[in-house]
Amino acid sequence: MTAAALLEHYSKLKEEALKKKEQEQKQPLIMVGTASCGIAAGALEVKEAFLKEIKKHKLQASVQEVGCMGYCYAEPIAIISKPGFPPLCYGNVDEGLVKLLVQSFLIEDDPCYEYALVALEPNDIFPTFSDFPRGVYEHKIIMEHCGFIDPEEIDHYLVHDGYAALAKVLSQKPEEIIEIIKSAKLRGRGGAGFPAGIKWEACRKAAGEEKYVICNADEGDPGAFMDRSILESNPHQVIEGLAICAYAVGASQGYFYIRAEYPLAVKRVQKALQQAREKGFLGKNIMGSGFNLEIEIFQGSGAFVCGESSALVSSMEGKMGLPRHRPPRLTSSGYRGKPTVINNVKTFSYVPAIIRKGADWFKSIGTEDSPGTAVFTLVGKVKNKGLVEVPMGTTLRQLIFDVGEGPPDDKQFKAVQIGGPSGGCLPESALDIPIDFDSLKEAGAIMGSGGLVVLDEDDCMVAIARYFLEFTQQESCGKCTFCRLGTKHILDILTDITRGEGTMESLQILQELAEDVKDGSLCNLGKTAPNPVLTTLKYFKDEYLAHIMEKRCPALMCKEITLYYILPEKCTKLCNVCVGSCPTEAIFTREDGIKVIDQGKCVKCDNCRKTCPPEHDAVVKLSPAILPEEGGEKK
């Protein structure tokens, strides 16, 4: 089919979508962010409240559900788009604010600036994203429409040139498309950064007619959720990328492998697939081009290791999710033994934009060897938590201190953990390295799936390493010796250290074993599992030594070597809050009225320290766990 005919077909569909949008824009439109994060914060109640108020006042306005724009710290979020005003975004919306906004803004034309976060279009009455430090660094490609379009409405995607890239490629040769992706140097965003174009080419060239493409949405990193957010906020973008890949490699069957713990993502992708079929973007003879493609969803069953591509395929075949030795690569022997391309949600998401705007445009963003943007889940001890998309090459410092605005409560930054269980902890001194696949790897961390957790002075680095090892140890498939038993012994040694039972000898064994597990394991789960240990040993050895030599946890986090103590000189004697707050009744009142903790009963739940009124601030943690002598002086 000719390019012109395809374009015509596509233009008609887009035309319809635009008309519909115009119609919508004639009246006020309220968009409520209802990705999982929003729903958890109460977005559905907010939506109901808007509907109720609008009905009560008999207004002409519509309410829509949109995805997540990444400002999770301000959820629930609502965007109000009223003719005559720029679309305005409001955070921390509750029922009261809904009432106010409907009354003042919708009825009386007062946009309540005092509650607005930001305006979404350039205007002369209210600041937009680019007026904030965060907006200066952010560069949105794959999150551009997340949070601004209704993920369950394909026309919203069409309005923003959705499926235009698919229409474009269907008149081109598959090899040309692979060339574009190769020349754009698009690297896989699922962890390892393998060039997508080269993978596609290998699959295209592999022998056989039957081929498969799979979108890896297993996202098992315990601190990351951007893939979920993208699927919940703009599923069509991923579908389009996957369809283009299928066409390029010559596959007529595609799959989404989605974690079963992501029910909303499953539902939205399902709906999106349905709509794409109805519009003729999927199915037989797509847009009259003769290209056929079906896409189905496979729900993962909760095993982190199934994110590893050979384990993923094995689980789709109805077996245990065990990784296997490679070669053979999946591009020659994958699902059902056929050539298969597996890419991450984000990798596919970049594809439509690259096709529409060209490889050179993509390469103009980011760095030479890692073009494009990086998407992170920015959590932990930062003020602005949420999803961020910044160009590759942005430094960690910019990301944490400018975009995230650093740790709250004037706490001291200590480290940043990147890449989840396969990644590492980097200290302050490494903050000026640019974010890209190679620089992070060099520093001992990895880009990984994009989880980025900021740690401050209250976080113990040994405990953090232990946390990740506990995770990988539980998630190891158990197939190979190093990972099954090696991670267990690493974990045991770390546990001993956090309890003050470590020795210098065990520290030596820890180092050796971590290196061997890295070199000896079968798959990347085992090969990367020691990274949290190796990086903390490299950058924070003093904390390990404090635990071992002094039985002291510098961050006062390790319970076994920390105790809770009420400072007699600070306790007012008059209030009783701590006594009531203790779940084990460990706090009693001494004859002189001062509260004392019975160390035998204390479970170190932190309740008393939290409840002690700030003006007294009498409860403290002490490490090593030695009680000060009577009279307030230390032993």
Ligand X SMILES: Cc1cc2nc3c(=O)[nH]c(=O)nc-3n(C[C@H](O)[C@H](O)[C@H](O)COP(=O)(O)O)c2cc1C
CA–CA distance, 487 with 474 (Å, rounded to integer): 9
Among the candidate windows 71-79, 130-138, 185-193, 538-546, which touches ligand X by CB under 6 A? 185-193
Nearer to other proteins, 176 or 317 (CB): 317
Among 28, 151, 220, 371, binds ligand X (CB under 6 A): 220
Residue 449 vs 498, nearer CB to ligand X: 449
Give yes or no for residue 388 binding ligand SF4 (CB under 6 A). no
DSSP state of 187: B
The nearest distance, CB 219 to ligand X, in angstroms, is 4
Distances (CA, A) of 332 to 159, 205, 327: 38, 9, 9
The reply on whether position 521 binds ligand SF4 by CB under 6 A is: yes
* 476 near other proteins (CB under 8 A): yes
Q: Judging by beta carbons within 10 Å of its beta carbon (0-12, 13-18, 19+), is residue 360 exposed, middle or buried?
A: exposed
Q: Which of 18, 136, 260, 504 binds other proteins (CB under 8 A)?
A: 260
- According to DSSP, the residues that pair with 456 across neighbouring strands are 413
Binding of ligand SF4 at residue 476 (CB under 6 A)?
Answer: yes
Cα R_g (the chain), whole angstroms: 27
H or E stretch covering 427 = strand 424-427
Q: Which of 217, 288, 291 has its CA nearest to residue 252?
A: 291
Question: Is 323 near ligand SF4 (CB under 6 A)?
Answer: yes
DSSP string, 19-61: HHHHHHHTS-EEEEE-SHHHHHHTHHHHHHHHHHHHHHTT---
Q: CB 418 → ligand X: shortest distance, Å? A: 15
- When asked if residue 325 is in the footprint of other proteins (CB under 8 A), the reply is yes
The residues in 477-496 that bind ligand SF4, with binding defined as CB under 6 A, are 477-480, 483-484
Q: Considering only residues 90, 148, 157, 225, which one is a binding residue for other proteins as defined by CB under 8 A?
A: 225
What minimum distance in Å lies between the beta carbon of 454 and other proteins?
10
Q: Which of 206, 265, 494, 522 binds ligand SF4 (CB under 6 A)?
A: 522
Distance (Å, rounded) from C-alpha 617 to C-alpha 572? Answer: 10
Q: Restricting to residues 487-546, which ones interact with other proteins according to CB under 8 A?
A: 488-489, 492, 509, 512-513, 516, 519-522
Q: What is the C-alpha to C-alpha distance for residues 219 and 302, in angstroms, rounded to an integer?
A: 10
3-state secondary structure of 344: strand
Token code pair at residue 458: 């209250």
CA distance 112 to 100: 8
Handedness of CA 52, 55, 61, 63 (dihedral sign): positive
Show the DSSP H helices in 160-308 as ranges: 164-169, 174-183, 196-205, 226-233, 235-249, 263-278
Residue 191 interacting with ligand X (CB under 6 A): yes
Indicate whether 257 belongs to the interface with other proteins (CB under 8 A). Answer: no
User: Which region among 75-83, 341-349, 495-503, 510-518 touches ligand X (by CB under 6 A)?
Assistant: 341-349
Part in contact with ligand SF4 (CB under 6 A); list of ranges 50-58, 157-165, 426-434, 522-530: 522-530
What sections of 551-606 are H helices per DSSP? 577-581
Buried b (16+ CB within 10 A) or exposed e, 416-426: bbbbbbbbbbb
Is 344 or 607 the residue whose CB approaches ligand X more closely? 344
- Pick the binder of other proteins from 37, 80, 286, 415 (CB under 8 A): 37
Alpha-carbon gap, residue 425 to 445, rounded angstroms: 7
**Hey, CA dihedral for 407, 412, 415, 421, is it positive or negative?**
negative
Choose the binding region for other proteins from 34-42, 182-190, 435-443, 536-544 (rule: CB under 8 A).
34-42
Site for ligand X in 448-507 (CB under 6 A): 449
Under the binding rule (CB under 8 A), the answer on residue 377 touching other proteins is: yes
Q: Quote the Cα angle for 485-547-619, to 5°.
A: 120
Span of 42-50, 276-284, 420-428, 475-483 interacting with ligand SF4 by CB under 6 A: 475-483
202 binds, options other proteins, ligand X, ligand SF4, none, Cβ within 5 to 8 A by partner type: none
Please work out the total of residues on this chain that contact ligand X, with binding judged by CB under 6 A.
Answer: 23
Residue 275 interacts with which of other proteins, ligand X, ligand SF4, none, CB < 5 to 8 Å by class: none
Q: Is 312 in the site for ligand SF4 (CB under 6 A)?
A: no
DSSP-based three-state secondary structure for 394: coil
| Residue 582 beta carbon to ligand X: minimum distance, rounded to whole angstroms | 41
Residue 347 within binding range of ligand X, rule CB under 6 A? yes
Neighbours of 616 (CB within 10 A): 16
Residue 527 beta carbon to other proteins: minimum distance, rounded to whole angstroms: 11
Taking the complex as a whole, the smallest distance from the CB of residue 541 to ligand X amounts, in Å, to: 27
Q: Of 107, 125, 136, 603, which one interacts with other proteins (CB under 8 A)? A: 603
Q: Which of 258, 525, 558, 625 binds ligand X (CB under 6 A)?
A: 525
**Contact residues for ligand SF4 (CB under 6 A)?**
305, 323, 476-480, 483-484, 521-523, 525-526
